[in-house]
Structure 1
Amino acid sequence: MKLLINIQSLLFCILLIMLLPNNSSGQQLKLDTQTLQLANQYYRNQDFDKAAAMYKEIYEISGSQHYFNLYLNCLVEMDHFEEATDAIKKQLRKRGQDPQLYVQWGYLLKQQNLPEQANEKFQKALDAVPAAKRDYSQLASSFLSRREYELAEQVYLQGRHKLTNEPFHYELARVYLYQRNYELMFQEYLQLLKEDEKSLGRVQSSMLTAFRMDVDDSLRDEFRTSLLRQIQKHPEVIAYNRLLIWLFVQEKRFSQALRQAIALDKRTGTGEAQIVNLATIAAGNEGLTEALKAYDYLIAKGKQSEFFQLAHQGKMQVLYQQFLAQAPEFRQPEHLQQQFDQTFQVVGFTPETTPLITDYAHFLAFYKHQPDQAIEVLTEHMNRGGISRLQRDQLKNELGDIQVLKNDLWEAILIYSQIIDANKNNQLGDEVKFKKARLSYFMGNLSWAQAQLDVLKASTSKLIANDALELSIFISSNTALDTTTAAMQLFAKADLYAFRNQDSLAWAMLDSIETNFSYNSLLDDVYFRKAKMGIRQANYEQAVSYLEKITADFSHDLLGDDALFILAQLYEQQLNQPEKAADLYKQMLSQHPGSIYVEEAREKYRHLRAEEKPDQETLFLEGQEVN
């Protein structure tokens, strides 16, 4: 009995020791991590001798092929070919006919200018690969890592032949992208889509990657042509039509996209969601006409459409956008009021229509000059049941703006502060922080405003961070050298009047700066604000004159590239002078190569300089054969 008790005690002690944390293994893990970091550092610094020793140690512990390859790289860089060959042979004895080792051996021989012997090893790799998808993929990846693209292609083609259920369409397309064999890449992606419509998202993502790698900007045209040919050959493949719609959207050709989307919906009865998505994207990219057509199509389908109410709401928001885009003398507030009333009769005042209600209140306050009625609409909706806290704060956000309009600035500050306290960790909180800082700027509290803006430059919202940075730089650059802030005070008041849509008062403030502070650093900003007001009022000739003053006298200042780009847009879109616009876009590329507008300017320049000829999709849409 005593012996039994001792044995039980011993077993308990052993079990207890096993359950205790193993400090030595933890230290070993830490040592391995440190060794890896140090090895990588040596490798980056081209200290290959030290890196090789460490990678060899790491490989022997981990067994990872990746670290063995890095070890070989180090030996090759030091011309230690014999040592590298011995390492490969040793691993072959351990692991048998491993095809990936033959790839590395072939690479080693190529580095020694022995192409025939290298090809023999590469062929051994192809002969040794097991008949399994994973093994073929690993072998192809090994070839790709050594830039042996043709051999990676051979791997997948061999796998397609040996594994009848594994066509490797996606993998081959990726190899053809590396080879810049775009025709074969298109074939593989389109064949994949034909066999599996669920691959649509994958194909779209891959094509976006290919487009980004396209140097001469010709890949889209080639892909579109291939896709149209396949649609003609295989009209039964619905995925092809969906891909064409997606491609048109990427190119912002919303009219063609909508035409295809409606035709597809009529054909299949399953395209309503895509049409809603298309309308939303078009509305956000100046495609208001196409967005309205999309919503009208859904509305015409009647209440049986699951998007009937959403289409009504979306249409009204687009109509409001159109109203805002018009010059003041062309706006018809009473007509828009009727459209709002008709829409609310259909969609009602509900939590789901909160964004539309916010737009309606803004319209009442800022464009119908009925701020008290707008406040009543907002207050009534905030007290309505079912409204979330976030929705209520979004309504209060608009309420704060209306208080600024009414010149009740301290009430606006109080409202903004309440929203900020309730939304410390979301985008709405940062948005309202910016509004509160901007209001301090309007009121002439420049130092306090800049301090708040500097904090907002770290906002997770890129848009808010950029706005905060822009206003902060503007304040600092125009107050740092001046002993008086009188001009800035006037400019801030002009911005306040502009916020209230009181352009005549804003213009008077800007005139005062131009007259009384003619040598102030704000002069180009005065011209820029006047140009923006001219555009808003459809007085394009006036806007052009101010923008040309900036491009002539202040081209190297902060607003130089902004003014030049807007000037080019005016000549292209409003003044119908495409040649003048093209020259200005070209000027943007040479004078402001670091500008954020460069890519768009390059794209517009190419478009304006393109030869006039019928494109492939026009021929397709007109029912003609695509060559």
Structure 2
Amino acid sequence: MKQFTILVFSTLLACFVGGWQLSAQQNPDVSKAQLANKYYNSRIYDKAAELYEQLYETTKSPHYFEFYLTCLIESDQLEVAEKEIKRALRKNDNPATLYVQWAVLLKKQGLPEEADQKLQQAIQSVKPSRNDYTRLANIFLSKGEYACAEQLYLKAPQVMPDENFNYELGRVYLYQRNYSRMFAVYLDLIRTDEKSLPRMESAVQSAFRLDVDHSLRKQLQATVLERMQREPEVTAYNRLLIWLFLSEKKYASALRQQIALDKRGLEEEPMIMQLARIAGQNQGYNDALKAYDYLLAKGKTSSYWYAAKQERMNLLYQQYTDGMPEALSAPELAGQFEAALADLGFEAGASRLILNYSQLLTFGLQQPDRSIDLLLRAMNMEQLEAFAKDELKTALADVYVFTGDVWEAIFLYSQLIEDNKMNELGDEVKLKKARLGYYMGEMSWAKAQLDVLKASTSKLIANDAMELSLFIGNNMNLDTTSIPLQLFAKADLLLFRHQPDAAWAMLDSLQQAYPFHSLQDDILYRKASIREQQGNWRDAALWLEKLVAEYPWDLLADDALLELGNVYRTKLNDPEKAKAYYLKLLEDHSGSVHVEQARKYFRELRGDFDQPSAAETTGDETSN
């Protein structure tokens, strides 16, 4: 029994020691691997080679052996490298990568013909599996042997007819800058597998980033149109063309393609709905409205009719609030709201539409009583979710601020803050309440609330809170009296109530009574904002230019420069002036938060981005 116990213990001990030794063999020394990598990245190849050799002996990992060989070659230890390659070839039944290393060595020795032979041996010896082909091709690409990678992938279908390497082959052509061949193989890929379209779009986008002369998009569009004429049954081509149009914000052309597919019975309604939303978010209002109209024309049998009806109405309101020339007037828009609510029904699902309608009644038509009635009725709708009800209550509080019933507004704001401690609406209402304190002249209290909100999880709320807090802080203690700031706040309240003439008069009085106060640049900026709200863009530009000329280094100078660029770019149709103001912002205010936006618009005006092509007007003809 004793001998048996000793035997068992000895066996277990042997297993433990053996297992420990095996583990030590398989797991590399992490610190040694890190040091080897550090030497390699610093191009100290001789020291890296020693460490990689030790790591390979410990782990037998081909990964470390490849690094070891590379370091030997790069440190001109060519004889040692060749010896190691030959020794490895005798043991290795998958020698393809070793032949590539040998070819690199031979090129280093000035023997290109012999190197080409080794590369061909690599291609001939690779095992017929997708992983082995992909791995060898990636090694070819890393060594700059693009032609060999192409040859390998062209050979692959003969060896593995069930595998498709078009995506990988397209990537090789991208390395070679052979874009016509790249487009051809990618189009072959999506012809047989439409599900690979997102992958192709990602690859094509990589090529577009290298598009120095802006010709690749046009080249791809032309190639796609040619394929569509030749193979009209392949819908993947249409979808690719839609993606191209959307990426260029050519929503009308994308919509024509999408409708053409829908008329072919492909049920494109979800995509048309998404297109309408994308166009609307990017101020492509007319194209978005056309998309909604197409869905609505299908009637209530369409599962998207209800959503399209609501979103179309809300888009018309957004067009109005953005001051677009083609927008409906406030009375016309109110009629549209009434008609939409009659079609949809006055129910919980229409709460967003009701919110917008209440805003129009209050601020657009100056009919706050109708707005209050509408909101109170909506808050009693059946099946209305708590959050939606709180949004309606927030709008109601805003109406009370508009009418001057500030205590009722404060009461509602306080309720909302208490009920929404854990969501963004609570912070939004806190900001509204703090701003109301500012309107009422309670500057210290308002600033304290705003300083807390600077930590809000919502970037927009945090930025607005910080901006108003800084404004109050910069202007609150400059005089023994806070009257100038209080007068300015009253002008802001009048603007909130959409009384621009009264606000203008208040600003005039302030400007004349306190000519040396720090609020002078803010007064000019507010006057420009009033003229913008009134659609008087040229007068707005004059006030902004006055601000830039008289207060070039004050806090609002960069804001005024950006706004000037935007006004001349989008409203006054003077791209040269717009470009000059964007450039002045970039040169004089390099630390401004507006630099990125100014640079983007400046580059657009300079022509750094693609111009519309003829393909957008011909694409739909090939699809119908």
TM-score range, shorter chain: 0.7 to 0.9
* Displacement after TM superposition at 1:494 (Å): 3.8
Structure 2 counterpart of 1:601? 602
Instruction: Note closer, same or farther for the CA distance 1:451–1:44 as it changes in structure 2 (3 Å cut).
Output: farther
2:452 counterpart residue number: 452
Shift in alpha-carbon separation, 1:197–1:95, aligned structure 2, 3 A: same
Q: Displacement of 1:136 after TM fit?
A: 1.0
Kept in 2, the 8 Å contact 1:347–1:353? The answer is yes
Report the more deviating stretch, 592-601 or 340-349: 592-601
Q: Which amino acid letter does the alignment assign opposite residue 617 of structure 1?
A: E
Distance in 2 of aligned mates of 1:117 and 1:300: 71
Distance 1:133 1:376 in 2: 69
Higher alpha-carbon deviation: 441-450 or 332-341: 441-450
When structure 1 is superposed on structure 2, of 105-114 and 190-199 the one drifting more is 105-114
Q: 1:596 to 1:569 in 2, by over 3 A?
A: closer
Counterpart of 1:615 in structure 2: which amino acid?
Answer: A
Q: Tell me the equivalent position of 2:543.
A: 546
* Corresponding residue of 2:272: 275
Deviates more, 1:200-209 or 1:372-381: 372-381
Contact 2:228 2:622 in 1 (8 A): no
Deviation at 1:334, TM superposition (A): 3.1
Scaled by the length of structure 2, the TM-score of the pair is 0.82
**Match in the other structure for 1:615:** 614
Give the C-alpha shift of residue 64 in structure 1: 5.5
- Single out whichever of 47-56 and 258-267 deviates more from structure 2: 47-56
Q: How has the CA–CA distance of structure 1 residues 484 and 556 changed in structure 2, closer, same or farther, with 3 Å as cutoff?
A: same
Partner of 2:531: 534
Shift of 1:547: 2.5
Q: 1:166 aligns with which of 133, 145, 163?
A: 163
Contact kept in structure 1, 2:170 and 2:186, CA below 8 Å: yes
How far off its partner does 1:600 sit?
Answer: 2.9
Moved more, 541-550 or 313-322: 541-550
Equivalent position amino acid for 1:194 in 2: R
Structure 1 residues 410 and 61, CA gap change in structure 2 (3 angstroms) = farther
Distance (whole Å) between structure 2 residues aligned to residue 24 and residue 311 of structure 1: 69
* Aligned residues of 1:588 and 1:598 also touching (Cα < 8 A): no
Tell me the residue number matched to 2:203: 206
1:220 has 2:221 as partner:
no
CA contact (8 A) 1:453 1:471 kept: no
1:585–1:604 Cα contact (<8 Å) kept: no
C-alpha distance in structure 2 between counterparts of 1:133 and 1:175, whole Å? 16
The one-letter amino acid of 2:331's match is E
Q: Matched residues in 2 for 1:471 and 1:39: separation?
A: 55
Q: Give the AA of the match of 2:455.
A: V
Moved more, 125-134 or 94-103: 94-103
Give the aligned residue type for 1:599. Answer: K
Partners of 2:76 and 2:482 in 1: CA distance: 68
Contact 1:441–1:449, Cα closer than 8 Å, also in 2: no
Counterpart amino acid of residue 508 in structure 2: D
1:514-529 equivalences under 5 Å are 514-529=511-526
Indicate the residue corresponding to 1:316 in structure 2.
Answer: 313
**CA RMSD in angstroms, aligned pairs only:** 4.3
| CA distance in structure 2 between the aligned counterparts of 1:558 and 1:85, rounded to whole angstroms | 68
List per-residue Cα deviations over 1:76-96 (Å, max 9, x = no partner): 565555555555455444433
Partner-residue secondary structure (3-state), 1:455: coil
**Cα distance in structure 2, aligned partners of 1:56 and 1:478:** 70
Question: Identity of counterpart residues, as a percentage?
Answer: 46
Note the residue ranges of structure 1 that are not aligned, 5 or more in a row: none
C-alpha separation in 1, matches of 2:27 and 2:505: 69
In 2, Cα distance between the equivalents of 1:295 and 1:383?
Answer: 30
Match of 1:340 in 2: 337
- 1:529, distance to aligned residue in structure 2 (A): 2.8
Aligned pairs for 1:23-422 (under 5 A) are 40=37, 55-56=52-53, 65-72=62-69, 75=72, 78-82=75-79, 84-85=81-82, 88-89=85-86, 91-110=88-107, 114-326=111-323, 332-371=329-368, 373-407=370-404, 412=409, 415-416=412-413, 419=416
CA 1:125 to 1:574, structure 2 compared with 1: closer, same or farther past 3 Å? Answer: same
Deviations 1:184-242 (A, max 9, x none): 22112222121112222222233333333434433222222222222222222112112
How far 1:608 moved relative to its partner?
11
Aligned pair count reads 609
Change (3 A) 1:614 1:243: closer
Higher relative contact order (CA 8 A, sep 6+): 2
In the alignment, the residues of structure 2 paired with residue 335 and residue 60 of structure 1 have an alpha-carbon distance, to the nearest angstrom, of 82
Contact 2:228/2:237, CA 8 A, preserved across alignment: yes
- Equivalent-residue separation in structure 2 for 1:268 and 1:329 (angstroms): 34
Structure 2 gaps, min length 5: none
The structure that has the greater radius of gyration is 2
Structure 1 residue 256: deviation in Å?
A: 1.8
8 Å Cα contact 2:455/2:462 also seen in 1: no
In structure 2, C-alpha distance between the alignment counterparts of 1:471 and 1:71, rounded to whole Å: 62
Comparing 45-54 and 286-295, the one that deviates more: 45-54
